[in-house]
Structure 1
Amino acid sequence: MSEPLLQIEHLKTYFPVKSGVWGRTKTYVKAVDDISLTLYSGETFGLVGESGSGKSTVGRSIVRLTDKTAGEIAFRGKDLYGMPERELRKLRPKIQLIFQDPYSSLNPRVRIGDAIGEAMLQHGLADTSNVRERVLDVLELCGLPRYHIDRFPHEFSGGQRQRVGIARALAMNPDLIIADEPVSALDVSIQAQIINLFRKLQRERNLTYLFISHDLSVVEHLCTRIGVMYLGSMVETGTREQLFGNPLHPYTKALLSAVPVPIPKLKRERIVLKGDIPSPVDPPSGCKFHTRCPLAFDRCKAEIPLFRDLGDGHCVACHLA
């Protein structure tokens, strides 16, 4: 395996809940609650889980759109939260974020050529004499005609806007791209085109992806390793073959049982979880999943399961594993 590119150790990201006239902090929303993972150069790591599990907060904490509460995030061995502001600014182009809704991330009054070129100028990746040509090159690389450079965001379809978002990230010559559910709002045919674009760019530029999604079919097709999150915690990580061929955590099994199978006569056991995901303000004691787990027993309610490596990098947090 290649060298580690990104290392996250015991990351916690809490949001204060304030109340009263003076706005005192009453409690915290534990959006990310002590997770660790490592990304290697050239791989695609998938982060999956239900809405509210903390996937997007992990991505936003990495790029420092949201400040962490505790833990360490290191990029190429350098602490992203400990380095001086000047050094961080030089590093920022190397870590780019692609948003779920590309339209809300684009200024409706700014032509997309200017939106892409502005960042290149700010970080010294182009100058006024060649920025337009650089933008045209990256648009072509992402499958957009050159004449689209002078269009506004509202003149594009959803798939085209996502290509603009990819082009804007690619213009920074990044090493790591965090894709936050980049295809969830697109039609299936457009999803396939964007996924193929991701794979093409990875081959050509040796990119590393942190691919955040709730669509397990897309994750299986694109990702080499996968992490499963539940209520802010990592419950299982492993290779694509390990998680889809031999899931160990009851939550992972439930998620996989909900994935449609393109074989009408194939019967599959459907695991229906009872109740709703608990509030991250007051998560359950012990194993956070015990309130919905069909296999829970007394130990699950009292003791937090250790996140253990059961061999070949297949890690799980479950007393029964």
Structure 2
Amino acid sequence: MENNLLEVHRLKKYYPITGGLLGRTIGHVKAVDDVSFSIQKGETFGLVGESGSGKSTTGRTILRLLEKTEGEVRFQGIDVHALNRQELRALRPRMQYIFQDPYSSLNPRVRIGEALGEALLDHGLLPQAEVRERVLEVMALCGLATYHVDRYPHEFSGGQRQRIGIARAIMMNPDFIVADEPVSALDVSIQAQIINLFAELQEQRKLTYLFISHDLSVVEHLCTRIGVMYLGSLLELAPRDELFLEPLHPYTKALLSSVPLPIPKKKRERIVLQGDMPSPANPPTGCKFHTRCPYVKDICRQEVPAFREVSTDRFVACHLV
């Protein structure tokens, strides 16, 4: 589609498992396994799932922070993984990443002002004399004070560090941002502030987000479409309202059952999944979810369900649907 900013087609990211005296490859950890979706300009696409489902690896492989194993990632028609080093460097300012832990992604010995302005100088986007003014402008936009510019990372709270991470991502005027669990470590009151900041920045700058989270209540406020991942694969993809109103996949139903309702004294019927997520190094045959599915049938153990469109812009991989 012409309106798609990003198109991901059959993306795979495998890590080799080596063994023996010669260190031969004896298997693979299938972190991302045949994932396809697209993101339209100006939308917020959510990726949800349990820890270890491959959400962050998908985001990093899309931005080529990790090299793919197979598949294709196209950003405005450009094959990201086919670019040479110089071409990729030229594309970098348009695609940015907000890391899950803002503290570990900041150099503790570098003042925030220098850390934020570093990329502008490195890419030659602004002369030295104008960098500080630009840094202060973006910091103010992200709710940071002028005097914060000369502080070190350890002098900030968790919410402030997350604002610094957002400021660093929008510093280069990107078109697309991957936000990896940006509010998971924050208090609920600070989460609301950061979510509102994301929405305001999107409206002002026409940004497109890939928002990665395990918290469906956060995703519900921010995202227009949602993909549900499990063990490296997409199990369901749907517009937000349809997904929350009528989830189709048993795994999506289980995730949604844990989200509290905003109505006092009213509770969802809780679906508790049995057992742990299998290892991505040795995934189950057939449907990857069948070992924990309460509705499992023989066909689920034998055949991999196709990820197919069941209604307009609604996809699911389940034999029961």
TM-score band w.r.t. shorter chain: over 0.9
Q: Distance in 2 between matches of 1:188 and 1:63?
A: 29
CA RMSD of aligned residues (A): 1.1
CA contact (8 A) 1:50 1:214 kept: yes
Mapped pair 1:121 → 2:121:
yes
CA contact (8 A) 2:257 2:270 kept: yes
Mapped pair 1:41 → 2:41:
yes
Where does 1:146-165 land on structure 2 (aligned, <5 Å)?
146-165=146-165
Q: Distance in 2 between matches of 1:2 and 1:103?
A: 38
CA contact (8 A) 2:261 2:267 kept: no
Q: Which residue of 1 aligns with 2:201?
A: 201
CA contact (8 A) 2:257 2:269 kept: yes
Q: Which residue of 2 aligns with 1:182?
A: 182
The alignment partner of 1:265 has SS state of coil
Q: Which residue of 2 aligns with 1:191?
A: 191
Q: Which residue of 1 aligns with 2:281?
A: 281
Deviations 1:276-308 (A, max 9, x none): 100000000000001110111000011111111
Amino acid at match of 1:190: I
Structure 1: runs of 5+ lacking an equivalent: none
Q: Distance in 1 between matches of 2:181 and 2:3?
A: 26
The alignment partner of 2:269 has SS state of coil
Mapped pair 1:246 → 2:240:
no
Using the TM superposition, name which of 274-283 and 15-24 deviates more.
15-24
Deviations 1:72-123 (A, max 9, x none): 0010001001122222111011110001110000000000111111101111
Once the 2 structures are TM-superposed, how far is the Cα of residue 267 of structure 1 from its aligned partner? 3.8
Q: Distance in 2 between matches of 1:27 and 1:7?
A: 29
Deviations 1:5-25 (A, max 9, x none): 010000000011122333222
Amino acid at match of 2:272: V
Where does 1:222-233 land on structure 2 (aligned, <5 Å)?
222-233=222-233
The alignment partner of 1:35 has SS state of strand
CA contact (8 A) 2:260 2:268 kept: no
Mapped pair 1:69 → 2:69:
yes
CA contact (8 A) 1:44 1:222 kept: yes
Structure 2: runs of 5+ lacking an equivalent: none
Once the 2 structures are TM-superposed, how far is the Cα of residue 211 of structure 1 from its aligned partner? 0.2
Once the 2 structures are TM-superposed, how far is the Cα of residue 2 of structure 1 from its aligned partner? 7.0
Amino acid at match of 2:218: V
Q: Distance in 1 between matches of 2:266 and 2:164?
A: 40
CA contact (8 A) 1:2 1:41 kept: no
The alignment partner of 2:51 has SS state of coil
Q: Which residue of 1 aligns with 2:134?
A: 134
Q: Distance in 2 between matches of 1:22 and 1:162?
A: 44
**TM-score w.r.t. length of structure 1:** 0.98
Where does 1:51-62 land on structure 2 (aligned, <5 Å)?
51-62=51-62
Amino acid at match of 1:243: L
Q: Distance in 1 between matches of 2:268 and 2:82?
A: 49
Q: Distance in 1 between matches of 2:262 and 2:23?
A: 53
Amino acid at match of 2:46: G
Q: Distance in 2 between matches of 1:280 and 1:48?
A: 17
CA contact (8 A) 2:47 2:55 kept: yes
Q: Which residue of 1 aligns with 2:4?
A: 4
Once the 2 structures are TM-superposed, how far is the Cα of residue 270 of structure 1 from its aligned partner? 1.1
Q: Which residue of 2 aligns with 1:292?
A: 292
Q: Distance in 1 between matches of 2:79 and 2:320?
A: 36
The alignment partner of 1:81 has SS state of helix
**TM-score w.r.t. length of structure 2:** 0.98
The alignment partner of 2:67 has SS state of coil
CA contact (8 A) 1:162 1:182 kept: yes
Amino acid at match of 1:275: G
CA contact (8 A) 2:260 2:267 kept: no
